[in-house]
Amino acid sequence: MEFTLKTFIFYGFALMTVASALIVVTVRNIVHAAFSLMVTLFGVAGLYVFLQADFLAATQVIVYVGGILVLILFGVMMTSERFDMPIQVKGHIERGQLLLGGVIALALLMLLLTVIANTPAWKNLTDDGTELPPTTERIGELILNGPFLLPFEVVSVLLLVALIGAALISRKEVRD
Amino acid sequence: MSDFRAMLAGFPYFNISENFFPNLRLQDGRNWAEEFIQNVVIPRLPEAVASHFPVEIGTVLVMFACAGVFVGVVPLLPLVLVLAERKVSARFQNRTGPMRVGPWGILQTLADGVKLIFKEDFIPPQGDKLLFLLAPYIIFACSFAVFAAIPFSEGILVSDFNIGIFYIMAISSVIVMGVIMAGWSSNSKWSLLGSLRSAAQIVSYEIPLGLSILTVVMLVESLSMQEIVASQSNGVFSWLIFRTPFAFIAFFIFFISSIAEVNRTPFDLPEAESEIVAGFHTEYSGMRFALFFIAEYANMFAVSAIAVTLFLGGWEGVLPGYDILGGFPGFVIKSMGLVFLMMWLRWTLPRLRVDQLMNLCWKYFIPIAFFNILGTGIWGLIFPEDTVISTSISCAIIYIGLIAAYKVAGRGLAQRPAPQPNF
């Protein structure tokens, strides 16, 4: 494979993603894990750019880093008395649990490897000069004028239900 | 001088062609840095060197140089803005402001900067050292990354992304992480309280901000900043703010939400001095504090520049064909006007309470912003093309609406009982 600037930057992003993801699962301080997750999500956004999915990359940053990660940190900081407590596994782990967890992890690994192997756009890493139309247009066509219209509407109704539910739960009880 | 390009064309190595700067589209195989190397640098080199010139490394160097220009030039902006703020606030309070350092005190900010450099760089011993050191850089970097997509002029633009405005929103949403990081790692209750307030405020106000941007995107049918500007090229009445009445409302929602995003009065609860000292940067001193300060003022200019690009014509002039209030100087003048408006509001209005802040966002701005989107859609169905008729109707509705708002607000103020002195 030709080693160009693009491949160099790509491996930079890949290294960033994998290394910070390793830190997320190994570090004992949960706040450090959350901030490391930020780097992971940024790295994944960078990989989306290499897949020529610019809209998805920005969405990744805006939704996961700007929204969900902030919610995670809020949850960590507000629900626990001592949020800087180190994470540790206490007590004995059953062999059955270990086996089940291993099987699920292996299945997930196989699934992800299949997806990676079958993603054709990685080939664009080395060939240059091909310009694709903006992804926003295609995404809009597919969602609002194509096969994904029904799932899109169902998801939006689901989100509305979740929103109303959240408002109902968090609302103060009115006593009369 | 309508443009920097005319000025730069005098220099042999800065001979910038018409379509030289734009087009770092994410999907392009080549970008402008590479084109600069291929078209400008290599033809000027001797034969023997040119054939072995490392294009890839050169591209990276050009990109770094461009980033360096931004990191070098953009901090000059806060230098001006800080002094402007002090002078403006002084005028509002019938003072003279800084007068000692240089004529009319124009070197005051430089003196303050030097003072900050020589101050002790204090790191709280009980805090989280790594995150404490990292937080200012995250905020600083994100504030500056926004400038990469702002079109200062037709040619002065780092990159014209397909997703320009969406990229700006995404990058500026990362600032929250830096704020939380700074607040948590300081190990101080003021910092933590300030950062949580700030995060709640920024996350909340991002929704009306995004929805009012969506109004513009629906009208232009593009996310690219240059295309948004290009759609406003027919003089002042083609500016998006006058295009539909809904965009007019969206501009005010956008601008007020931006003030909340950059944590300025009347939305400066995260930095409320009387309650939580200085908010999330209480524990910072010296250069790290200066980084927060620079980022804050750079942000202020950035949101004004975005508002100008989206609603007030960007670098396009007032009259079609004439370069009045257009080009790079016009863009800066318009942005500075909005910055002045922010300062004006800051030194006029008192601070809101937390519940007022959240009520304003969730109970007023978000419903109005949704109504705007619906209205823009209907407007687009009635007037598919932007014509003289649609603009006239829009301006008439805006005019009537403003008068009605004035009458209603005036009546409300008149009915309110006069404030009684309370001793």
The answer to whether B209 and B166 have CB atoms below 8 angstroms apart is no
The answer to whether B306 and B168 have CB atoms below 8 angstroms apart is yes
Residue B10's pLDDT is: 43
Residue B296's pLDDT is: 86
B398: enclosing H helix or E strand: helix B388-415
Contact (CB<8Å) A131/B60: no
Across A61-70, A119-128, B238-247, least confident range: A119-128
Across A67-71, B266-270, B387-391, least confident range: B266-270
User: Within this chain, do residues A52 and A75 fall inside the same structural domain, yes or no?
Assistant: yes
Which chain A residue has its CA at the smallest distance from B56's CA?
Answer: A5
Residue A81's pLDDT is: 59
Contact (CB<8Å) A136/B60: no
Is the pLDDT at A1 greater than 70, yes or no? no
Residue B106's pLDDT is: 80
> Among partner residues B176, B181, B196, which is closest to A66 by beta-carbon distance?
B176
Q: How confident is the model at residue B281 (pLDDT cuts 50, 70, 90)?
A: confident
| Average pLDDT rounded to a whole number, residues B408-415 | 73
Is the pLDDT at B273 greater than 60, yes or no? yes
Which chain A residue has its CA at the smallest distance from B204's CA?
Answer: A67
- Taking CB atoms and an 8 Å cutoff, what residues of chain B touch A57? 26
| Average pLDDT rounded to a whole number, residues A4-18 | 81
User: Within this chain, do residues A83 and A138 fall inside the same structural domain, yes or no?
Assistant: no
Residue A126's pLDDT is: 46
User: Within this chain, do residues A33 and A46 fall inside the same structural domain, yes or no?
Assistant: yes
Residue B24's pLDDT is: 39
Of A116-120, A150-154, B345-349, where does the model show the most confidence? A150-154
Q: Give ipTM to 2 decimals.
A: 0.78
| Average pLDDT rounded to a whole number, residues A2-30 | 82
Contact (CB<8Å) B29/A128: yes
Across A91-95, B31-35, B183-187, B316-320, least confident range: B31-35
| Average pLDDT rounded to a whole number, residues B153-176 | 80
Does B161 reach chain A within 8 Å, measured CB to CB? yes
More confident residue, B120 or B334: B334
Q: What is the DSSP letter of A86?
A: B
Residue A122's pLDDT is: 59
Q: How confident is the model at residue B93 (pLDDT cuts 50, 70, 90)?
A: confident
Number of domains in chain A: 2
Contact (CB<8Å) A129/B60: no
User: Within this chain, do residues A80 and A167 fall inside the same structural domain, yes or no?
Assistant: no
User: Rounded to a whole number, what is the distance in Å from the CA of B79 to chain A's nearest CA?
Assistant: 29
Scored b (16 or more CB within 10 A) or e, A138-167 reads: ebeeeeeeeeeeeeeeeeeeeeeeeeeeee
* SS3 call for A29: strand
Phi, psi of B242 (to 5 degrees): -95, -5
**Chains A & B: contacts with CB separation below 8 Å:** 88
Does A32 reach chain B within 8 Å, measured CB to CB? yes
User: Within this chain, do residues A127 and A169 fall inside the same structural domain, yes or no?
Assistant: no
- Taking CB atoms and an 8 Å cutoff, what residues of chain A touch B171? 61
Contact (CB<8Å) A61/B161: no
More confident residue, B38 or B176: B176
> Domain segments of chain B: what residues?
4-73, 119-400
Is the pLDDT at A99 greater than 80, yes or no? yes
Does A7 reach chain B within 8 Å, measured CB to CB? no
User: Within this chain, do residues A77 and A152 fall inside the same structural domain, yes or no?
Assistant: no
CATH number for A126: 1.20.120.1200
User: Within this chain, do residues A122 and A175 fall inside the same structural domain, yes or no?
Assistant: no
| Average pLDDT rounded to a whole number, residues B220-228 | 83
Does B219 reach chain A within 8 Å, measured CB to CB? no
> Among partner residues A31, A132, A136, which is closest to B163 by beta-carbon distance?
A136
Domain interval for residue A148: 133-176
User: Within this chain, do residues A50 and A83 fall inside the same structural domain, yes or no?
Assistant: yes
More confident residue, A135 or A62: A62
